[in-house]
Amino acid sequence: MEETQSKNKYRALFLKPWEKGNKNIVRDFVYGCWCNGKRIGGMQMPPINEIYCATHARSEVVDAVFIDAQTSWDRFEEIESSGYASIDCLILMCSTQSFRSDLRILEKAKSLKPAIKTVLFGSHPTFMPEYALAGAVDFLVRKEPEETIRVLLDALARNEDTSRINGTGYRDKDGKVVLNANREFCDMDVLPIPDRTLLPENADYFNPVVHRLPYTTIQTSRGCPGRCIFCTSPEFYGKKYRARSAENVLKELREIKKLGYREVFFRDETFTALKKRNAEICQAMINEKLNLSWIANGRVDMIDKEMMALMKKAGCHMLKFGVETSSDELLKTYRKGTTSEQARACFKAARELGIETHAHLVFGGPGESWNTINTTIKFVKEIKPSTASFGILTPYPGTELFAMVASMNPSIQDGSDSNMDNLHTEGFYSKEVSGMTGDELSLAVKRAYRKFYLRPSYVLGKLLRIRSFEQLVILVISGLNILSFSISGKK
């Protein structure tokens, strides 16, 4: 890898870390909100944000490379065993839940090569910069990262002043935290198409809801029209919802097709928010016979049956929705902007059209009780999603929910006692949020998985829909993961 690049360029390594023992961590949203383990059926996701950053950072003076240590551990070990000899700068995307483990990687890199520069970007550096600027961290990048990282690497490569770069933070010679002004958000059409050749060759990103392999991810918008009290996306990406043009998206889809991918996962927070643009994209996919199957995230109040039908014709086979709860009172508290009846109608429409659905549910919000939990479990069985995930509501830094908890109990500090081992399955300041204990909510999550997935009718339905040996293998792997979690509650 390194030998094929110019040795005169400044070498930046974008690393997706991996700690042995954690088989799958879906750490692809730059604003955090990651998940992992058996609870999500063993799902893995090809990274997109690091690829965006690395592609944009390349220049006449900067060479950017990427390693996904989860799928290319040998490449990472080779770099580390060399003492990062060929690397000038190490860059990690970091969430609150990964911060402590990410910091250990940077500390080791500094011990092997003290001169190496280290950079963190993502949710934790954005919302908790004073904590994130620990001893082994030279720079942090806040909010939207691509242009800030490009400018920072260019300045480092040219040995120029880095102290006034917008969007960055660092400690000065006296140890004082310096946070420069935020950088303006970009026009997404200006960003280059991510160079997917940076991804590891023949990487097996297992995903139980994907129909055709190989698959890749794509991002066509940033931000969310919603203002949920538990989500970091609006604060991270700005209050204005931004999107790429239809033609710009189609340009990338054509390239994806040429690279040999057969399926695409749209990782937009709310892909369905842009009806007119999406209709253009879908119609072009149909007219050009792109033959890409795909999955997208949506809101139950921002899609109708007519749009679903067009999306299905264009290759969409699954829609994923944040249902959250069946309680309209809780939905109001969350400021979700949706109702349980909208969810019911949305899932009914998708089912009538033959589109698979996934429902995301959370337990432990303000006003949660065993009554609302049991009603939600019953509701989910009634709306009949193809798959569902249940988790404990976690207060993330940068959200109104976190601020509420911190005002009640400052011991939460930067929130990094929450980690990838306990996220969504164990309580984290749950008593302050909902009045329910962490143990109660852990039990509720296990109960929900059992009542939804271990129904004979659900299992039989899944078996009857198998159409290939590949589908059988996927069902067995994901099913065993879900079964194990349903029994043990361990990820």
All structural domains of the chain with their residue ranges: 2-179, 209-453
Write down the residue that tokens 């994806």 correspond to.
Answer: 256
pLDDT in tens, 377-409: 999 999 999 999 999 999 999 999 999 999 999
Mean pLDDT over 16-41 rounds to: 70
Looking at 6-15, 267-276, 305-314, 428-437, which range is the least confident one? Answer: 6-15
Distance of CA 444 to the CA centre of its chain: 24
pLDDT above 90: percentage of residues in the chain:
79
pLDDT above 70: percentage of residues in the chain:
95
324, 336 contact by CB (below 8 A): yes
Predicted pLDDT of residue 275: 95
Distances (CA, A) of 444 to 211, 299, 375, 411: 31, 25, 12, 26
Residue 130 phi/psi, 5° resolution?
-65, -35
Mean pLDDT over 295-304 rounds to: 96
Q: How confident is the model at residue 26 (pLDDT cuts 50, 70, 90)?
A: confident
Res 444 pLDDT > 70: yes
- H runs (alpha helix) in 369-420: 370-383, 400-408
Could you tell me which residues come within 8 angstroms of residue 291 by beta carbon, excluding any fewer than 6 positions away?
257, 262, 315
Angstrom distance (rounded) from CA 15 to CA 200:
12
* Cα atoms in the 13 Å half-sphere on the side-chain side of 144: 19
Mean pLDDT over 77-104 rounds to: 96
Mean pLDDT over 323-350 rounds to: 98
Write down the residue that tokens 């001169």 correspond to.
Answer: 115
CATH superfamily of domain region 209-453:
Aldolase class I (3.20.20.70)
Nearest alpha-carbon partner for 448 in 489, 406, 407: 489
Would you identify the CATH topology of the domain 2-179?
A: Rossmann fold (3.40.50)
Average pLDDT taken over every residue of the chain: 93
Distances (CA, A) of 112 to 107, 234, 320, 394: 9, 38, 44, 36
Res 2 pLDDT > 50: no
Mean pLDDT over 157-161 rounds to: 97
Mean pLDDT over 436-450 rounds to: 96
Res 253 pLDDT > 90: yes
pLDDT in tens, 30-53: 666 677 666 677 778 899 999 999
Res 4 pLDDT > 70: no
Res 326 pLDDT > 90: yes
Res 3 pLDDT > 60: no
Which of the two residues, 421 and 270, has the higher pLDDT score? Answer: 270
Distance of CA 385 to the CA centre of its chain: 21
Angstrom distance (rounded) from CA 463 to CA 461:
5
Q: How confident is the model at residue 248 (pLDDT cuts 50, 70, 90)?
A: very high
pTM of structure: 0.92
Predicted pLDDT of residue 23: 61
Mean pLDDT over 179-190 rounds to: 96
Angstrom distance (rounded) from CA 231 to CA 226:
9
Mean pLDDT over 450-455 rounds to: 95
Predicted pLDDT of residue 27: 75
311, 298 contact by CB (below 8 A): no
Question: Which H or E run contains 152?
Answer: helix 146-157
Res 212 pLDDT > 70: yes
DSSP 8-state assignment for residue 31:
T
Could you tell me which residues come within 8 angstroms of residue 75 by beta carbon, excluding any fewer than 6 positions away?
1, 67, 69, 200
Nearest alpha-carbon partner for 231 in 307, 135, 324: 324
Instruction: Find out whether the peptide bond into 214 is cis, omega within 30 degrees of 0.
Output: yes
The strand ranges marked E within 142-214 are 168-171, 177-179
Looking at 20-34, 148-162, 433-447, which range is the least confident one? Answer: 20-34
Res 187 pLDDT > 80: yes
Tell me how many degrees the CA angle 215-70-39 measures, rounded to the nearest 5.
Answer: 75
DSSP 8-state assignment for residue 214:
S
Mean pLDDT over 452-474 rounds to: 89
209-453 and 2-179 share a CATH fold: no
Res 9 pLDDT > 90: yes
Predicted pLDDT of residue 7: 64
